[in-house]
Amino acid sequence: MGNIFVTPEWFFGYDIFLEVLFAVIALLVCFYAWKIYKITDENHLRLFSWSFLFIGLSYVAQSLLNFIVLVKLDDDITGVINLQSVYLLSLFGMYLHSILFLMGLLILTYVSLKVDNLRVFTLLVLIIFSSLYFSPYKTFSLYMLSSMLLVFISYYYLTTFWNNRKTTTLMVLIAMILLFIGNVSFIFATDKALYYVVGHILELIAYLLVLVNLLVVLMVGKQKHKNGKKAR
């Protein structure tokens, strides 16, 4: 399951920087979601925090291993052994990223199902990871599976926004739709390098929207808390 994307020469290295940025943003989302959960005690925020912890760690693993691969490719020593080690590192990086990233999306999907049943979550995990494990095209399967999960997640936020008409919900909805489009772009990135770049840009916008949304929710919550104290 090596990296099958066609990366533009001018973008080589920038993708690693963006992966680091994704990791930082996702982990900040995890932190702020947990902070809001501690204030509100709403279980879906706890799970939301856990989901972005896994997503953040998936990018930590991917960026770190891709950086090591980049360094190895720049070494003066070349040959079959070096190329094999580069391939194995790339392979391991993709596996680790896939497992962590899908786990994050599975938790979000579990939240969207609005069920409190460990067996349902276990069934989702078994179905998704079995599909990934038995597929001969691992990278393609990763983005197909993640795209399908993002359809369910997007639908959840669409129905939630339809009911509450909150700007914060709309921001998350847009973020999930952008993540879905970004994942679909990666599916076509095997032949067209432009889709690889587009996918990264859409991911960046999506993660930033989620982070900004949580910061807004946190500020509004603090303001309400202050107003409540003044009223007393």
CA–CA distance from 9 to each of 126, 188, 196, 197 (Å)? 38, 18, 12, 11
pLDDT tens for each residue of 96-106 = 999 999 999 99
Residue 4 in this model has a pLDDT that exceeds 50: no
Above pLDDT 70, what percent of the chain?
84
Which residue intervals of the chain are DSSP H helices?
Answer: 14-40, 43-74, 80-113, 118-134, 138-164, 167-187, 193-231
How far, in Å, CA of 206 to CA of 59, rounded?
15
pLDDT at residue 73 is higher than 50: yes
Confidence band (pLDDT; 50, 70, 90) for 218? confident
Topology given in CATH for the domain delimited by 9-224? Rhopdopsin 7-helix transmembrane proteins (1.20.1070)
pLDDT of residue 152: 95
At residue 74, the pLDDT reads 60
Residue 176 pLDDT grade (very low, low, confident, very high; cuts 50, 70, 90): very high
Q: What is the pTM of this model?
A: 0.89
What's the distance, CA 10 to chain centroid? Answer: 24
Q: What is the pLDDT of residue 192?
A: 72
**Is residue 3 pLDDT above 50, yes or no?**
no
The predicted-structure confidence for 113-122, as pLDDT tens digits, reads as follows 888 888 999 9
Nearest to 210 by CA among 72, 32, 42: 32
Q: What is the DSSP string of 106-127?
A: HHHHHHHHT---HHHHHHHHHH
Range 189-222 burial, b when 16+ CB lie within 10 A, else e: bbeebebbbbbbebbbebbbbbbebbeebeeeee
Query: Residue for token digits 């999306």?
Result: 105
Average pLDDT of the segment spanning 82-91: 68
